[in-house]
Amino acid sequence: MPIVATGQARELATAFGQLLDGQLRHSILGDEYFSAGHSRLWDAIAGGGWLDLAVAEDDGGAGLPVKDLTAVAEAWGRRIVPLPFTCTMVLRAIPAVRERVAAAGRLTLSVPGAGGWRLVPMYGVDKVCHLSWGDGPGPEPDAVPSGLAADLFAPSLPIGAGGVLQPGQSDPAVLASIATLWAAEAVGAASAAFDAAFSYAGFRQAFGRRIAEFQAVKHRIADMYKCLELARTAVLWAANTPDAPQRGVRLALELSREIIEGAIQIEGGIGFTWEAGIHFYLRHILALDRLVQCAGPASAPIAGS
């Protein structure tokens, strides 16, 4: 069994990227995300069957394993769209949850945090699933607490303390899949920032030439590229070790962050501006990192099996 994603999964990821680019004609700063475009994009994703990639074939889905889903998650992460695609995809594949949320649309989940806080990733969600299935039926998915989305593009909403997640009831397999796909999203975001910095170096002039001609710039980009290839491998590592994905996940996030740090450096003062937008990728990764930490074994109460 190869560790890499199948050729079919790569093709799917490419097609998914094309679908997204077709819908997201404007830049990441456009109004698209915050208005009607939001739902239009979601409808296109749902209508194309993309939400059921993880659902078993017997249940009418594509039945893709996590390592294949990482290719799709990376394509999603490249566009840092503030919609809960990854969570919805994973949650819909869980039979016990699927029945309850099939009609809910956009789903997200609460994950455990320090001090009794729960982190809910992503915006534009219809329901929050608490990681509390197991023996019993668990609570019904909640409506989203209001008034929480302060920092767009940082895909987490902190919500107040409450007895949402009971020790011994969370499902490590789900946490592993979701953490791995979040890591893949981070790599997608890093790859987009890498491409932006790479093309910037190709046209930005200093001392009468393109900065891409300076060895110092080329070597920094070479280092970023090294991190990018390794980050992809780290995601595959996580996907292929579902019992202990944390090390691969953490590495993928660390390496993704290094890439974006490089992108800011390559773009210089421009890269440090809000408008240039590299920080959206960075914030996205920082938020994913926080979510992954919270979903990790150190803080997640895991079933006493």
Tokens 């579902």 found at: 242
Shortest distance in whole angstroms from residue 196 CB to other proteins:
14
| Residue of 26, 213, 244, 302 interacting with other proteins (CB under 8 A) | 213
Residues 232-271 vs other proteins: string with x where CB under 8 A? xxx-xx--x------xx-xx------------x---xx--
Tokens describing residue 16: 């998914």
Applying CB under 8 A, which of residues 8, 26, 226, 244 lies at the interface with other proteins?
226
Alpha-carbon dihedral angle through residues 211, 220, 17, 67, given to the nearest 10 degrees:
170
Contact of 165 with 231, CB cutoff 8 Å: no
200 binds other proteins (CB under 8 A): no
For residue 4, state whether it binds other proteins (rule: CB under 8 A).
yes
- Hey, CA dihedral for 238, 133, 51, 296, is it positive or negative? negative
Single out the segment in contact with other proteins by CB under 8 A; choices: 23-31, 42-50, 87-95, 209-217.
Answer: 209-217
Strands 127-130 and 107-112: parallel
Measure the CA angle with vertex 42, ends 123 and 199; round to 5°. Answer: 80
186-to-71, 129, 287, 295 alpha-carbon distances in Å: 12, 22, 10, 15
Establish if 299 lies at the interface with other proteins (CB under 8 A): no
Cβ closest to other proteins, residue 37 vs residue 277: 277
By CB under 8 A, is residue 117 in contact with other proteins? no
Interface residue with other proteins, options 221, 263, 288, 294 (CB under 8 A) = 221
CB 210 within 8 A of CB 203: yes
| Interacting residue ranges for other proteins, rule: CB under 8 A | 2-4, 7, 198, 201-202, 205-207, 210, 212-213, 215, 218-219, 221-223, 225-226, 229-230, 232-234, 236-237, 240, 247-248, 250-251, 264, 268-269, 272-275, 278-279, 282
